[in-house]
Amino acid sequence: MIGFLRGRIVSRRPPILTLDVGGVGYELEAPLSTFAALPEGSGETLLYTHLAFREDSQYLYGFASEEERRVFRLLIRTSGVGAKLALAILSGLTVAEFSQAVSTRDAATLQRLPGIGKKTAERLLVEMADRLDGTVAVPAGGDPLGEAASALAALGYKPREVAGMLSDEKADGRPSEEIVRTALKRSLASKR
């Protein structure tokens, strides 16, 4: 297995990237987020990789971060999601945005991506909630619901539980702390 490659960028024609590693040119497919993270020109870079074998071919995928690669691997294990669709998802959403969409069960965000209809979005929400297993990477600042989801995940709630706890919450100007308190109170009351 090839875990990562460090080399000089020879060409970039999204989604294909060619990397010169010690005189050997590796052709990789990568999401647009990885292309955005590459250094300018023909600089040296490190890409985390995933190697896939098919009956008649091999594909090497490259990612700017281990987190991107991890989510790609989780996505391709989902029924009906192949490598091309997984790359499209990571090209349209950051890992944090995807995690937030899953944790808050936001099918509309997923449906805005090319190739994802209502059924695929719902399947992703169900299957990825268990796979992400509480590792919701939501950036702080600006989105109280996202911050609340991240805080609940940090408290040990699974993505499916977080989604249920926040299902009735609205982004109505309240700070994330208040949203978390309300969600926790409601959750505790429903268990009695």
Give me the percent of the chain exceeding a pLDDT of 70: 92
Most confidently modeled of 80-89, 124-133, 177-186?
A: 80-89
CATH class of the domain whose range is 66-93+106-132 = mainly alpha
Q: Give CA–CA dist 61/189, Å, rounded.
A: 47
Q: Give CA–CA dist 12/132, Å, rounded.
A: 31
| 31, pLDDT greater than 90 | yes
Give me the percent of the chain exceeding a pLDDT of 90: 50
User: According to the CATH classification, is domain 4-63 in 2.60.40.10?
Assistant: no
Q: What is the pLDDT of residue 16?
A: 95
Q: Give CA–CA dist 150/40, Å, rounded.
A: 33
Q: What is the pLDDT of residue 136?
A: 45
Q: Identify the residue with better confidence: 80 or 7.
A: 7
| 142, pLDDT greater than 60 | no
DSSP β-bridge partners for residue 16: 13, 29
Domain spans in the chain, listed from the N-terminal domain onward: 4-63, 66-93+106-132, 94-105+133-192
Give the model confidence (pLDDT) of 85-103 as tens digits: 999 999 999 888 898 888 8
pTM: predicted TM-score of the whole model, two decimal places: 0.70
